[in-house]
Structure 1
């Protein structure tokens, strides 16, 4: 099987990678040693010199480390598309978020909204509520976490609504995903992978990248809330 492949991945792929790791080993691939964090946090770690074989970031983040010479451009593959959604604690009513007026009412009606400061979803949400003219009202009682899973704040009773990539919301038990923010209000994030230029495990890294980009993994991506 060879040496384990060290993977640094955005949180959005945690569910899919966790599911696929065992299947990959069973198919003869190397063990996946994965660590998960928001793209911005991973970029800081990579620039501080942290070693890895494969990185999975937003396409924009991956492009940055390609330009910096940290990731080989020829190895890069797009894996999945992801939408930002909202969730409530299990058993709670699902507010209507199907249109901009409905979403506005749902957000303003919540006791508190949880979102992430570093994640792509949090950046999108912060811009969205600013554009909608409700940023001051929402942020006055928001639960803004530095990183991690916002839906955990629902389970803890700290918020009524959690905002994050749907694939990240689905990582937390005891919650229910309402659905995506209306598609016309967001641009889906594209998550992409590439091999680190300094990787000492190039052959296994390239094999893993081919596997993650194959049709074989599409069902696991969909089940985790992503679109292949």
Structure 2
């Protein structure tokens, strides 16, 4: 099914959900500034990629390079159209009111993970990075045995907030909006693989010229201030 939803009257944007908190602030600002209209949909990354591969199309895809790369190879995104605009670090959260573990070093993070009764992490870019960390620690099987999967559409922070997991691992930008948790901090720097967000044009879009002002806006001083407040860093 080819859901070509670009209408010519509005820019159709599909974004992974981790960028939502910044974009729900930025999109109205851009619309007011440019007198343009944007129809934006936020979806968890694995689900969104499946939808795009099944035929969903628009004008702009926003997400990490880990997901955009294969879509370029498949000819879905326009070659050379990637423009990075933000980076996000991965952090650890616990339920509000509980004693936060020391995660200042890789060894202390490993101990905290082994001591937890339940650990939750996403299938998105931060989860892919975290699985590598578990393998490096040699505790992948031990953590998988106490993995707590989020419910469909549920944020990792919400799993922790309702007490289903002691520890949640996700991008800090996705943890910040969740009530009922304490963000302990970033994972140690030597374990970080920054997740780089970019804008990408769909190859079939008839509005590529109209998309460019939005792409530029996401790299503006206004956007950088909002992104920083939302847990991102400029790319």
Which residue of 1 is the match for residue 135 of structure 2?
130
* 1:130 to 1:63, Cα distance in 2 relative to 1, 3 A: closer
Q: Which residue of 1 aligns with 2:64?
A: 58
| Cα distance in 2 for residues equivalent to 1:226 and 1:148 | 21
Answer yes or no: is 1:26 the counterpart of 2:35: no
TM-score normalised to the size of structure 1?
0.91
Equivalent residue of 1:73, what SS? Answer: coil
With normalisation by structure 2, the TM-score equals 0.89
Deviates more, 1:33-42 or 1:160-169: 33-42
Give the match for residue 124 of structure 2. 119
Consecutive unaligned residues in structure 2, runs of 5 or more: 1-7
CA offset at residue 57 of structure 1?
A: 1.9
Give the corresponding residue for 1:191.
Answer: 197
- C-alpha separation in 2, matches of 1:142 and 1:220: 33
Q: Which residue of 1 aligns with 2:116?
A: 110
Q: Cα offset for 1:29? A: 4.1
Superposed CA offset, 1:136-189 (max 9, x none): 222212202366411111121101111001101113122121111111012111
- Greater mean alpha carbon deviation, residues 73-82 or residues 197-206: 197-206
Q: Distance in 1 between matches of 2:70 and 2:52?
A: 11
Q: Can you list the C-alpha shifts for 1:80-128, whole angstroms capped at 9, x where unaligned?
A: 1111110112222221101011101111121211112x21111111221
Paired with 2:228 and 2:186, the residues of 1 have a C-alpha distance of: 14
Residues 105, 78 of structure 1: alpha-carbon distance in 2 compared, 3 angstrom cutoff: same
Equivalent of 2:182 in 154, 176, 182? 176
Segments of structure 1 that go 5 or more residues without pairing to the other structure are none
SS at match of 2:146: coil
> Superposition RMSD on alpha carbons, in Å?
1.8
Partner of 2:144: 139
Q: Structure 1: which 4+ aligned runs deviate by more than 4 Å? A: none
CA distance in 2, matches of 1:224, 1:119: 18
Task: Report the secondary structure of 2:34's partner residue.
Answer: coil
Aligned residues: 226
What secondary structure, in the 3-state scheme, does the structure 1 residue paired with 2:77 have? Answer: coil
2:5 is aligned to: none
Question: After alignment, is 161-170 or 127-136 more displaced?
Answer: 127-136
Aligned match of 1:215 in 221, 231, 234? 221
